[in-house]
Amino acid sequence: MKIRSALLSTTRGLGLAIVSLAGSVTLFVLAVVSLALLPLGVGVLTTPPVLGAVRAHANHRRLLAARWSEVKIPLPYRALPPDRRGGLVGLVEQCSLLLKDPATWRDLLWLAVDMTAGFTTALLAFAFIPYGLEGWTLALGTWKPIVHAAGGYWYAFIPVSSQSTANLAALLGSGFLVLGVFVSPLLLRAHFLLGRAFLAPTPRMALAERVRHLTETRHDAVDTSAAELRRIERDLHDGAQARLVAMGMSLGAVEALVEKDPAKAKELLAAARASSAEALAELRDLVRGIHPPVLAERGLGDAVRALALRMPLSVEVDADLPGRAAEPIESAAYFAISELLTNAAKHSGAQRVWVDIHHDDGAGSLRIAVTDDGKGGAAPSEGSGLSGLRRRLGAFDGVLAISSPVGGPTMVTIEIPCEFSVARPTA
């Protein structure tokens, strides 16, 4: 296992050395030239694509760091708004935003480090095993043509001039081989750790991003609450309130007709009774839409099972929760699942939906997966229900991921950080 890891580190070190030297040098030169041309106006056209290439280069290194050495390097970049203006004005705005992002300048500093110290660590990760093999090839007889052609040859600190010195080179090469087995993976990891020192966000950048995220989610939460209050007001005005007004008018008519036309009065009373029942049903639906009683009494798992029974398609629910989460989180998770099931029923053409709800003890989060066998093609485009759902979950530091290839299936995964307490007793 160690030998395989060392051989992989050797080949990967060679690839990284080439990329660090060629790729980082090229991008660094292009970036410096592009920035130097900014006063002339030409840099406005060249800087965004060049810096985009730098970010792509850095992101590829992040990917390799995670895959090859399990070194995770978070993204520090500020989110760029969509280019709505286009043309030169859009380029100027994009260029300005890129230059104001501290991560841009840290990327350029990383390029300078990567083509020097990064190149060195990657080359060292490659060098030990090939250099050790060279000692053995000298002992196998290649020392003669090499020495005759060059007039002398040194292997490390050994002057190779005979078979005995070539044998010493082989002995030293064995040491390099053993050293490479242990050191090459460490040097490859050191290369990525060096990159993380420049590519990862600083504590100040992380704090600024956290403040920005909290400000954005606070605005989203306020907007969502205002929209929900408007919905409740509209439902009350158009539904239960209108029926109660109609019932009051019917009772007034009954009062006037009760002596003159008792039969008509009975009809109006029956209509008023029906209106009162419909108003009561609408009020119950409204209350259920605000906070379902089954959610408060039985918890998220049973509430979703009850919701599944009311859906027009087959829904299979697998809920394994150790207790109860905070009420706002349970409510947010419930309505997120409700919206996803409604979308699946209306738009996906699905016949079956699977809902998996469980708590990840290691990550300390509630994880929900909603999968359907529909036609796929769902995307959280700006202004869509999925985009709004993602923003609402952001108020709880929740994340939403979508996998929906054309032809299906569609899988929406939700993760909300939370802790569970002992289940509250039912009423």
Q: If you average pLDDT over residues 122-137, what whole number do you get?
A: 91
- CB of 184 closer than 8 Å to CB of 128: yes
- Reported as a single tens digit per residue, the pLDDT across 184-196 is 999 999 999 999 9
Whether residue 81 has pLDDT greater than 50: yes
Give tens-digit pLDDT for 293-345: 777 778 888 888 888 888 888 889 998 888 888 888 888 888 888 888 888 88
Res. 57 pLDDT band, cuts 50 70 90: very high
pLDDT (average), residues 84-88: 56
Lowest mean pLDDT among 67-71, 130-134, 227-231, 353-357: 227-231
Tokens of 77: 């970049």
Residue 252 tokens read as 């007034």
More confident residue, 401 or 18: 18
- Higher pLDDT: 46 or 84? It is 46
pTM above 0.75, yes or no: no
